[in-house]
Amino acid sequence: MPLINEVDIRIVERMDRHCTEIWVHEYHGDAEWNISIKDNIMVKTKIDPNEIPVDLTPFLSLNSHFAIQLFKSLAEYLSQKGIKTKDVNLIEGELTASLKHLEDLRKYMDILLTQMVGVNVK
């Protein structure tokens, strides 16, 4: 079974004291679509770059306090499932490289001190 090509999806959040709207846009080349849900069905509406869209609806609209709690819970859930952002993967890779570098430095310092003092410092 062929894999589905990844698409460029961007999420925009509009939050005020009472309501949080989540807008989802999908991009394919120069084409842009707004993604929304209507009657439990995903609706893709093509956005004309030459017109100001007036009939678009957000993907999701929530009470702002609930939205913050939901986003935190989703982030924890995704992390537990091993789904990470590019930034998290980069940070983890840098941390692993830094730890390896520190281990190497400890080994070299041990060798250097042993040669200088003549005593193994372990």
- Structural domain range at position 58: 1-81
Same domain, 13 and 73: yes
Same domain, 72 and 121: no
Select from 64, 67, 92, 93 the least CA-distant residue to 79: 92
Same domain, 72 and 95: no
Average pLDDT over residues 47-70: 89
Same domain, 11 and 70: yes
- Mean pLDDT (the chain) is 82
Same domain, 112 and 69: no
Kindly report, residue by residue over 27-51, the tens digit of the pLDDT. 988 889 999 999 999 999 999 888 8
Q: Is 39 exposed, middle or buried (0-12, 13-18, 19+ CB in 10 A)?
A: exposed
Same domain, 9 and 25: yes
